[in-house]
């Protein structure tokens, strides 16, 4: 079978990152191979024995470059072509690629693959099959997230495709993930519920919990891109049954089932409407912690200015003095790291508080009932605590983003509204 052998060859080449590159011709070929899978008539040209021989040879060849996503028991043209496509496109997001993937029909196949994986989530009881479905959905969603960033054409196309099939599948997948994350939680410490029973901690199925978390992030990333300053996408997303409740549960309940270091990421992703400045600031803080200042390598002397010129002057220190100096530097480095970690945690809390205030502010706009409800939970019924936090957040946004973006205008409108409440 020529198509099967071609798909296998493309897959093997895709595993060699030094030689295989993606151009329009290879992208077109892979999509054609995906379309051929829908026509099984070519399989009739070979008897079952010959076909099995070909598949066995391909299976042995693929084992030499095997990766966790390839199902060696499912050696078909479509499966190999899809794996090749995802492997090559996951790290590419150039403008030409985003457009060609849409024009050649590649987005159609990827969205259909997402639906297939999501449908399996409600049926797969075996953990290995469940992980495979989660991985499959996540990889496709990562590609879709990449090709929809700052690309209104792809956003509109995906919203319209098969009556918003991608949004429908993403909403269902998020609901499944919300349920699965509780069953396969990876929280480091047991958390007691109202009835004093600890949450189940399943080390045996830790890989399932990781797959659920990764899939959830990919889902949120796609939904953010499709709803970012997009009324059509926001309307279609809001129409999905139970999605608003699921999103709120993910904000309020899901983080306690996650490892401590993952909770902030999920909260921000779910709160995030447009701005990504918080994530940028967090990554810079992490880099500062990792790249703490190091001591000068050459301690045998120092540069000094003598007779109008700079010279290296050797200094001799006793062992005790050197040890004392070294200890002082280590103490300073430790204090710096502690300060940075404390500042990072403080920033995380501020970001979460700001997005909470922004969400509540949006709910209060043009809704006197919501204003009254929110006021009941505020200290002395005063909205100033929210406006002060949002003003600080807006100042932070002005420092890290271009002035006048949609997100900043939205925050300004909320601040102005709350000040008159």
Answer yes or no: is 107 within a domain: no
**The pLDDT value given to residue 249:** 81
Task: Give me the DSSP letters along 338-375.
Answer: HHHHHHHHHHHHHHHHHHHHHHHHHHHTT-HHHHHHHH
Whether residue 139 sits in one domain with residue 77: no
How far apart CA 110 and CA 78 sit, in angstroms, is 12
Q: What is the pLDDT of residue 395?
A: 85
- Evaluate whether residue 8 is within a structural domain: yes
Q: Are both 189 and 211 inside the same structural domain? A: yes
pLDDT given for residue 292 in this prediction: 37
**Of residues 143 and 340, which shows the higher confidence score?**
143
Q: How confident is the model at residue 243 (pLDDT cuts 50, 70, 90)?
A: confident
Strand 301-306 relative to strand 309-314: parallel, antiparallel, unpaired? antiparallel
Which residues make Cβ contacts (< 8 Å) with residue 331, sequence separation at least 6? none
Residue with tokens 């009254």: 372
Distances, alpha carbon 29 to alpha carbons 87, 99, 268, 368, in Å: 15, 16, 39, 58
CB 134 within 8 A of CB 214: yes
Q: At what angle do helices 277-290 and 260-271 cross, to 10 degrees?
A: 160
Tell me: do 243 and 370 sit in the same domain.
no
User: What is the reported pLDDT for 334?
Assistant: 66
Q: What does DSSP assign to residue 196?
A: S
Tokens of 121: 């989530």
Same-domain pairing of 76 and 160? no
Provide the H-helix boundaries in 228-365. Answer: 231-238, 243-252, 260-271, 277-290, 319-364
Please check whether residue 362 lies inside any domain of the structure: yes
In which region does residue 318 sit, left (phi positive, over 0), alpha (psi from -120 to 50) or beta (all else)?
beta
258 secondary structure, DSSP code: S
Pair (64, 149) in one structural domain: no
Residues 247 and 287 in one domain: no
* Cα dist from 324 to 101, 311, 333, whole Å: 63, 26, 14
Q: Of 62, 89, 116, which residue constitutes the final position of a domain?
A: 89
Q: Is 300 helix (H, G, I), strand (E, B) or coil?
A: coil
Over residues 138-188, the pLDDT tens digits come to 988 988 988 898 889 999 999 999 999 999 999 999 999 988 888 887 765
Examine the fold and report which residue of 272, 305, 340 is the final residue of a domain before the chain moves on. 272
Last residue of a domain, one of 63, 89, 115: 89
From the list 218, 65, 62, the residue with the least C-alpha distance to 136 is 218
| Residue 11: strand, helix, or coil | helix
- Number of independent structural domains in the chain: 3
Residue reference for tokens 């590649």: 106
For the stretch 249-279, pLDDT in tens is 877 787 787 777 666 666 666 655 333 323 3
Residues 2 and 60 in one domain: yes
- Secondary structure letter of residue 306 according to DSSP: E
How far is Cα 413 from Cα 75, in angstroms, rounded to an integer?
55
- 3-class DSSP state of 304: strand
End-to-end CA distance of the chain: 71
CB of 145 closer than 8 Å to CB of 223: no
Say whether both 189 and 85 belong to one domain: no
Any domain includes 63: yes
Please indicate, yes or no, if residue 394 is contained in any of the structural domains.
Answer: yes
Report yes or no: 143 and 90 within 8 Å, Cβ to Cβ: yes
Structure confidence at residue 153 (pLDDT): 94
Cβ-contact 185, 199 below 8 angstroms: yes
Place of tokens 């779910």: 270
pLDDT at 173: 94
Give the phi and the psi of residue 254 in degrees, each rounded to 5: -60, -40
Full residue range of the structural domain in which residue 33 is found: 1-89
For residue 313, tell me if it sits in a domain: no
Q: Which two tokens stand for residue 236?
A: 């279609």
Per DSSP, 310 falls in state: E
Q: Which position has the higher pLDDT, 327 or 241?
A: 241
Res 167: pLDDT: 94
Tell whether 344 and 409 lie within a shared domain: yes
Report the Cα 15 to chain-centroid distance in Å. Answer: 24
Work out the angle at residue 59's Cα, subtended by the Cα atoms of residues 56 and 64, and round it to the nearest 5 degrees.
135
Residues 6+ apart with CB under 8 A from 396: 277, 281
In a domain, 95, yes or no: no
Q: What is the pLDDT of residue 107?
A: 92
- Per the model's pLDDT, the better-predicted residue between 73 and 160 turns out to be 160
Name the one residue in this structure whose structure tokens are 């999501």: 118
CA distances from 335 to 170, 326, 339, 362 (A): 45, 14, 6, 40
In a domain, 147, yes or no: yes
In angstroms, the CA 281 to CA 304 distance is: 39
Which carries the bigger pLDDT value, residue 1 or residue 156? 156
231 in the same domain as 329: no
Neighbouring C-beta atoms of residue 34, cutoff 10 Å: 25
Average pLDDT of every residue of the chain: 74
Q: What is the pLDDT of residue 162?
A: 94
Residue 137 has pLDDT above 50, yes or no: yes
- 262 and 189 fall within a common domain: yes
Same-domain pairing of 161 and 191:
yes
């Amino acid at each position: 079978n020529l198509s099967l052998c071609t798909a296998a060859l493309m897959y093997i080449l895709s595993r060699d990152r030094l030689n295989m590159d993606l151009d329009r011709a290879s992208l077109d070929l892979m999509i054609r191979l995906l379309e051929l899978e829908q026509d099984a008539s070519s399989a009739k040209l070979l008897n079952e024995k010959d076909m099995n021989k070909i598949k066995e040879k391909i299976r042995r060849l693929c084992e030499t470059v095997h990766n966790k996503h390839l199902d060696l028991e499912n050696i078909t043209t479509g499966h190999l072509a899809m794996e090749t496509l995802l492997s090559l496109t996951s790290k590419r997001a150039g403008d030409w690629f985003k457009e060609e993937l849409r024009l050649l029909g590649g987005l159609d196949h990827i969205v259909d693959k997402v639906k297939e994986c999501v449908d399996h989530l409600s049926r797969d009881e075996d953990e290995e099959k469940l992980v495979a479905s989660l991985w499959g959905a996540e990889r496709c969603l990562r590609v879709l997230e990449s090709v929809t960033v700052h690309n209104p054409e792809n956003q509109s196309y995906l919203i319209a495709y098969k009556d918003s099939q991608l949004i429908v599948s993403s909403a269902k997948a998020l609901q499944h993930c919300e349920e699965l994350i509780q069953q396969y939680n990876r929280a480091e410490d047991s958390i007691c519920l109202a009835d004093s029973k600890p949450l189940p901690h399943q080390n045996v199925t830790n890989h399932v919990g990781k797959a659920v978390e990764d899939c959830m992030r990919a889902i949120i990333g796609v939904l953010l891109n499709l709803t970012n300053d997009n009324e059509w996408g926001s309307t279609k997303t809001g129409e999905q049954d139970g999605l608003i409740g699921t999103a709120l549960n993910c904000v309020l309940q899901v983080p306690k089932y996650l490892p401590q270091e993952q909770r902030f990421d999920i909260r921000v992703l779910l709160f995030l409407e447009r701005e990504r400045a918080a994530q940028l600031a967090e990554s810079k803080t992490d880099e500062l912690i990792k790249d703490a200042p190091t001591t000068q390598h050459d301690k045998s002397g120092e540069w000094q200015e003598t007779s109008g010129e700079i010279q290296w002057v050797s200094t001799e220190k006793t062992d005790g003095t050197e040890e004392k100096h070294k200890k002082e530097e280590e103490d300073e480095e430790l204090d710096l790291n502690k300060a940075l970690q404390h500042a990072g945690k403080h920033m995380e809390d501020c970001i979460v508080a700001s997005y909470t205030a922004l969400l509540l502010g949006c709910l209060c706009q043009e809704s006197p009932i919501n204003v009254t409800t929110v006021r009941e939970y505020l200290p002395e019924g005063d909205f100033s605590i929210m406006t002060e936090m949002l003003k600080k957040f807006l100042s932070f946004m002005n420092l890290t983003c271009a002035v006048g973006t949609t997100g900043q205008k939205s925050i300004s409108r909320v601040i102005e509204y709350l000040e008159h409440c």
